[in-house]
Every structure is written in C-alpha cells, then in structure tokens.
Amino acid sequence: MRVALDTNVLAYAEGIGSEDKRDSTLKVLEALDASSMVLPAQVLGELFRVLTGKAGRTALEARAAVLSWADGYPVAESTWSAFGAAFDLCADHGLSVWDALILSVAAEQQCRVLLSEDLQHGFTSRGVTVVNPYVASMHPLLEEILAV
C-alpha cells in the first residue's frame, strides 16, 4: 500500500512536539517499507519552514534534515494537474490550497493513505484516505499498515 506523509508527521519524527507523538510517528514509519512511501515536494518545503521557524533550527540544519528525508523516500513533484485537482478540493470541500495540493499529489502517486493530523480523519478523495495516526481509534487502513 502506497502512503504519503504530511508535514506534521515529518515534524513529529524530527522531534517537534511531544515525545509521545514522536514515538508514535517513528513506530509507524518503521512499519512502512520506504519504497511504499511518498513525500510530496510541498511537504518538504513546509518542513523546512517549520524547522527554521517553530523549531529554531538554522537554515543549514533544516536543509540537512530535509535532504535526508528526500534521500530516504521518493519525492513527488507538484504538477499542474495536481494543482487543478487541488483547486477542485478547495472549491468543493473548503480545504486550504496547500493541504489540497498534498492530497492531490498523493492521488497522482496512487497512494491509498495520506498520514496527516491536519486534514479530516477518514476523508477520501480520488482513492486516497486521510488517516490521522494520532487519534485514539485507529483507522482500519493504519491497522493494515502496522500489521505488515
């Protein structure tokens, strides 16, 4: 099963936020095969911003972290067709354009799951289901991922 990751998942893995969320994130990431994971390029840009802003890392430190993620997992570019689909999600469902773009890129990459804390848990678009890995009631797709 192909899985896309949202910015907050990477930020927690980087140690931003609570230890519980970091540990939970690392558990999920360890259960996934790196070749099944997708990082939308938008996510890496947002991660750089979070690392240099909220986390107070230098640009050099943030760049090293972002490049490390890009070295470990496939990065998916934002295409014009993904933007078009994102605009539809904004107009039809009220999503922010950047969240919608991440979801649309995940769909273009034939992901079944987008791990995200920011979008509506269980929302499905173009075959991609948003799964919040931090909610108490685990989504069946996440159970399937963790069972592997």
Q: How far apart are CA 74 and CA 69, in angstroms?
A: 9
The pLDDT score that the predictor gives to residue 146 is 80
Encode 53-121 in three state secondary structure.
CCCCCCHHHHHHHHHHHHHHCCEECCCHHHHHHHHHHHHHHCCCHHHHHHHHHHHHCCCCEEECCCCCC
Q: How far apart are CA 91 and CA 132, in angstroms?
A: 23
Please provide the average confidence, as pLDDT, over all residues in the chain. 95
* Among 62, 80, 79, 59, CA closest to 70: 62
Pick 3-147's CATH classification: 1.10.357.10, 3.40.50.360, 3.20.20.70, 3.40.50.1010: 3.40.50.1010
The pLDDT score that the predictor gives to residue 33 is 87
Confidence tier at 143 by pLDDT (50, 70, 90): confident
| pLDDT tens column, 65-92 | 999 999 999 999 999 999 999 999 999 9
Q: Is the pLDDT of residue 145 over 70?
A: yes
The pLDDT score that the predictor gives to residue 29 is 93
Q: What percent of the chain has pLDDT over 70?
A: 99
> Which residue matches tokens 């099944």?
36
> Which residue matches tokens 């605009």?
87
The model carries a pTM of: 0.94
Q: How far apart are CA 33 and CA 126, in angstroms?
A: 23
Identify any residues that bridge with 114 across adjacent strands, giving them in sequence order: 4, 130
For residue 95, give both structure tokens. 């999503």
Q: How far apart are CA 108 and CA 139, in angstroms?
A: 22
The pLDDT score that the predictor gives to residue 94 is 96
Q: Are 129 and 123 within 8 A, CB to CB?
A: yes
The pLDDT score that the predictor gives to residue 148 is 53
